[in-house]
Amino acid sequence: MITETYHEGTSFIHRMDPRVKIIHLVFFSVVFFLPVSVPKYYAVFFLIFVSSCTSSGLKNVIKPVKVIMPLIFLIMVLTPLFHPEGNVLFRAGDYILLTSSGVSETLLLVGRFLGITVLFFIFLRTTRIDDFILALRFFGLSHKNAVVITITVRYIPYLMSVYLNTVDAHKMRLTVNTLLPGRWNFPARFRNLLSVLTSVLIQAVKGIPVLAMALETRGFGRMSGRGRLKSMRGIKELIPDLILSLMVFLGILYYIFI
Amino acid sequence: MNPVLSVSDLNFTYPEYSSVKNRTLYNNLTFVAGKGEIVLFLAPPESGKTTLSRIITSLIPRYTGGILDGKITVCGTDVQSEKPYNLNEKIGIVFQDPEEQILTPLVENEIGFTLETAGIDYDEIEKRVESAVDFMEIDNLKGKNPALLSGGEKRKVLISCLAASDPELWVLDETLEEIDPVARKKILEKLKKSGKTILILTSKMLDIYKNYCSRFYLFNGRDLVSEEGAPGKIFMEKAESAGVFLNHEKIVYPSGGEGSVSDRKEVLIRAENIRYRYPESTFSLSVDDFELRKGEVVALLGHNGSGKSTFAKILSGLIKPESGAIYLSCGNGVNEVIHKADKDDAAGKKDVELLKYADLLALNRNTAYLFQNPDYQLFLPTVKDELSYGLKGEKAAKSVISEKIRRASGMFRLEDPETPPSMMSYGARKRLQAAIYYLLEKKIILIDEADSGLSFDDYVSILDKLDSSSSPHAILVITHDVKLSAKIADRIVMMKNGEIITEDPEKEFEKLVNTTF
C-alpha cells in the first residue's frame, strides 16, 4: 500500500525548488505530446528514467511502472488493430493485425504513458506535499483551493486505508465453514468487491459532515487574512536553478527538433 | 467564581428518523467550569458526551439539526450565536476519533493549521508550533504524516494543536483513555501547568484523574452529581454503580503460573520467531515465542506504538510476517503440515502438542480481530445484515440464523435489528462488533483497545459474553488499563519496542501500576 508519496532523500531532484520542479513537470509533459520520432521520444524517457533512478533508486521507479503494466499490455494489444495503414507485418486471413505504422504508434503511446507516469511519480516522490501546495500558491492558487488539494492528498491514503480495513473486516467474517468462491468465479468475486467498495463509499460520504466540522473547529471559514507556517525561498535564490533548467530545456528541444 | 464555561438548563433532541427513536438528552443539564480548572465530566456511554462536546463548540445543531434548549456560554460568549470558526480563540476540541480530525499530511502543518487560518504571522506560527511540539514532547513525530501514526500519537498531535492555538477552553472527548499510562500522566501534568480550562469527557473514572482534576461531574443521563476538590466516597460509589468506575483495590500481577488455566490447557495458537518491519519505517516487530491456551484470557499491555496491534494483526492473518510461523491446534481449516512442539512441563514430563501450520487464510478463518474503531468492521445497512453476514457465508439455515440473531441481539443489548449501525451510538456499535464475532464462534478472539468509549461494566460484560461461547477459545485483550487487565486476565504479556518483555515482566507491570496511581 502506498500511504504516502513523499520519500525522504538528498538527491538533486529532492533539493530542487518545487516551483522549478513544476516548470520541469509542465515542460516534459508537453515534450511527450510533441510530434517527434520514436527514438527521440525514448531518449527523453531514458533521461527522465535515469534522473529518477539517481534520486529514488531503480526499485522505486519500477514500482509505478509495475502498477500500470496491465494498461501498457492493453495498449500494446489494441493499438495496432486501429492502425492498418503502412507496411503490413502480420495478417490473419483478410484481417491486418500488425503494420509498421501500428508498431510506431504503439511504441509512441507506451513511451508517452510510461514517461508521464514516471515523471509525476518522481515529482511526488521527491516533493513534500506542503512544499507542492506552497509552490502552487506561488503560481496563484487561492488559499481555499490549496486547502482542498491538501485535504484531497490527505484523504487518498485515508480512503485507501478504509478500503484495506474493510477488506480485512470481510476476511474476519470467514469461518472454518465459509464457502469461498472459486478463483474463476468472477461474478461472486465481483459481488464481494462491490460490497467492499460500497462500504468505502458509505464511509467516505459519512465523513463529509465530520470533515466540515473538523475544518470549522480549526478556523476554516474565517474572513481574516491567511498566515503561513512555511515560506519559500526568494526569487533571486532560484536564478541558478532556473538558468540550469533553461539550458536543459533548450538542449532537449535542440535534440528533438534538429 | 467567574466561569469560563457555563451550561444552563440544556436539553437537546436529534431529528427523528424512521428507523431511530429519539429521546431528549440532558434533562436541564447545568454545570460550570472555572478558569484554570481541569473538569472531569463522567458519564456512561450513550448519555450524550460527544453530542455535548459538539454543542459546546457550536457544531450541533448546526450540522445535525435537532432542537436545542438552554444556554451555553464560553468566556461570556453565547456559543450558539457564533459560528465554530469564530470561536477559535475561546474553544478548542479533540474529537473522540482522531482520524476524523486530521487535515494535513504533515505533523507541523497540522499543528499550525488553526494559526494559519487565523492569519497569524509566519514567525509567530513557527514559534507557537515549536512550543506546542515541546509542550507535548512530540519532537520525534515532526516530519511525519499524522494519518500514519498510532491512535495515541494522533491524539498527542491534536492536543498539540490546542496548545498552539491556545484557546481558553479545551474540550477533550475520550482523548486520554487510549494513551498509555506513562504518557497520560505526563499529559495531565502539562494540562495542569497550562493554566487553561480543560473539560475531559469520559466514560471511565481512572484513578489518576483524582490527582489532576479539581471538579468532578457524574451524569447518568438524567441526574448530575458534582464534587469539588477530590471525589468523595458517595461520588465514587455512584460512579461504580453507573459502571464508570472499576473498584478493584488490590492489583495483583496475574502470572498464569503453575496450576492456572494457562498452565493446564491445550495450546490453541502458537507464534514462533515472528519478524516484521513496516515498509519505510524504523519500527520492527520481533516475537520469538507466544502462545494462547484454551480458555485463557491474556492481556497485552504496552506503550502506544510498541507493536501490540501489529502483532494482533499478524496473529489474525491480516499481516503476513517477513519470517516465522504461526501454528493452530488441530481443527478444521488448517493446512496439513504438522508441527510437534516439544515442551517440558513442570514435572519434567515430555508434553507433545500437535499443532498445524496455519497460513493467512486459516488464521482468518479461526481468529476474530475486533478493531479499535468499530466503524471499520461494520459495512452493512442494518444490524440484522451485519449479524447474519458471516452465518450466510456458512450456508446456515434461515431459521438457525434468525434464532442466533435473536439470541445475540438480546445478549449484547441490540434493540432493533433493523437499525442502521451508523445511527447507533459508539458504545452500541462496539457491542454489535462483539456480537458479530460471538456468532461466528472463532477459536482465537483478539480485542484491540476496544474499551475506549465503553464503561467498565459494558466492557467487562462484552468480554464475559465472548468468553461464554461454548466452542473452545482463547481471548487476547489489548489494553492500557492495568486495573482492568488485572481484573479480567489470567495472564499478562507486556510489549516494548516491538518485543515481548521476557525479563521480569512482573517488575514492568508494577512500574506501570505505580504510574497509573
Min Cα separation B247/chain A (Å): 34
Coil, helix or strand for B446? strand
Q: Does B106 touch chain A (CB under 8 A)?
A: yes
DSSP H helix total and E strand total for chain A: 10, 2
Beta bridge partners, A240, equal none
All cell numbers assigned to B183: 504518557
DSSP letter (8 states) at residue A181: P
What average pLDDT does range B156-160 have in this prediction? Answer: 95
For chain B, what is the mean pLDDT? Answer: 86
What pLDDT, in 10s, does the model give residues B396-447? 788 989 999 999 999 998 878 888 887 787 788 889 999 999 999 898 999 9
Q: Does B375 touch chain A (CB under 8 A)?
A: yes
pLDDT of residue B163: 95
| Max Cα distance, chain A (Å) | 73
User: Per-residue pLDDT for B207 more than 90?
Assistant: no
Q: Does A233 touch chain B (CB under 8 A)?
A: no
User: Per-residue pLDDT for B345 more than 70?
Assistant: no
Closest residue to B333, CB basis, from A166, A176, A215: A176
Which range, B2-11, B234-243, B337-346, is most confident?
Answer: B2-11
Q: Lowest-pLDDT range, A84-93, B90-99, B239-248?
A: B239-248
Candidates A219, A215, A144; CA nearest to B86 is A219
What average pLDDT does range B374-380 have in this prediction? Answer: 82
User: Per-residue pLDDT for A1 more than 80?
Assistant: no
What average pLDDT does range B121-150 have in this prediction? Answer: 89
DSSP letter (8 states) at residue B265: S
- CB-CB neighbors (< 8 A) of B113 in chain A: 218-219
Q: Does B142 touch chain A (CB under 8 A)?
A: no
What pLDDT, in 10s, does the model give residues A10-55? 888 888 888 999 999 999 999 988 888 889 889 999 999 999 998 8
pLDDT of residue B166: 94
All cell numbers assigned to B393: 457465508
- CB-CB neighbors (< 8 A) of A7 in chain B: 280
All cell numbers assigned to B203: 466514560
- Give the chain A residue whose CA is nearest to the CA of B105: A154
Strand order in the sheet with B350-357: B338-344, B350-357, B323-329, B267-277, B284-293, B499-500, B491-496, B297-302, B474-478, B444-448, B367-370
Q: Does A234 touch chain B (CB under 8 A)?
A: no
**Interface-testing mutation among B113, B157, B439, with chain A (most A C-beta atoms within 10 A):** B113
Do residue A4 and residue B148 have CB atoms under 8 angstroms apart? yes
Residue A7 · residue A60 · CB < 8 Å: yes
Helices (H), B79-231: 107-117, 122-136, 151-165, 181-194, 209-212
Cis peptide before B61 (omega within 30 of 0): yes
What pLDDT, in 10s, does the model give residues A94-107? 888 899 999 999 99
User: Per-residue pLDDT for B70 more than 90?
Assistant: yes
Closest residue to A154, CB basis, from B104, B380, B436: B104
Beta bridge partners, B74, equal B5, B77
**Interface-testing mutation among A129, A150, A229, with chain B (most B C-beta atoms within 10 A):** A229
pLDDT of residue B261: 52
Coil, helix or strand for A194? helix
How wide is the angle at C-alpha B43 spanned by C-alphas B37 and B48, nearest 5°? 100
Main-chain dihedrals φ then ψ at residue B216, nearest 5 degrees: -125, 135
- Give the chain A residue whose CA is nearest to the CA of B420: A202
pLDDT of residue B426: 78
Q: Does B93 touch chain A (CB under 8 A)?
A: yes
Closest residue to A228, CB basis, from B106, B116, B147: B116
DSSP letter (8 states) at residue A17: -
Contact residues, A window 149-168, toward B, CB-based 8 Å cutoff: 150-151, 153-154, 157-158, 161-162, 165-166, 168
Reported ipTM: 0.80
What average pLDDT does range B342-348 have in this prediction? Answer: 48
pLDDT of residue B21: 66
What pLDDT, in 10s, does the model give residues B458-470? 888 888 888 887 7
Do residue B437 and residue A175 have CB atoms under 8 angstroms apart? no
Residue with cell 498566515: A227
- Give the chain B residue whose CA is nearest to the CA of A158: B147
What does the alpha-carbon distance between residue A87 and residue B444 come to, in Å, rounded to a whole number?
66
pLDDT of residue B75: 94
Residue B377 neighbours by CB distance under 10 Å = 26
Min Cα separation A238/chain B (Å): 21
Which is it for strands B297-302 and B474-478: parallel, antiparallel or unpaired? parallel
What average pLDDT does range B161-165 have in this prediction? Answer: 95
Q: In chain B, what percentage of residues exceed pLDDT 70?
A: 90
Do residue A228 and residue B365 have CB atoms under 8 angstroms apart? no
Do residue B368 and residue A195 have CB atoms under 8 angstroms apart? no
How wide is the angle at C-alpha B371 spanned by C-alphas B370 and B376, nearest 5°? 115
For chain A, what is the mean pLDDT? Answer: 85
- Give the chain A residue whose CA is nearest to the CA of B128: A229
pLDDT band at B263 (very low <50, low <70, confident <90, very high): low
For residue A110, what are the contacts with CB-CB under 8 A and spacing of at least 6?
A72, A75, A76
Candidates B91, B86, B156, B77; CA nearest to B119 is B86
All cell numbers assigned to A30: 508537453
Q: Does B389 touch chain A (CB under 8 A)?
A: yes
For residue B413, what are the contacts with CB-CB under 8 A and spacing of at least 6?
B428, B431
Residue with cell 484523574: B209
Amino acid in the structure at residue B410: G
Entry pTM? 0.78
What does the alpha-carbon distance between residue B19 and residue B418 come to, in Å, rounded to a whole number?
7
Q: Does B103 touch chain A (CB under 8 A)?
A: yes
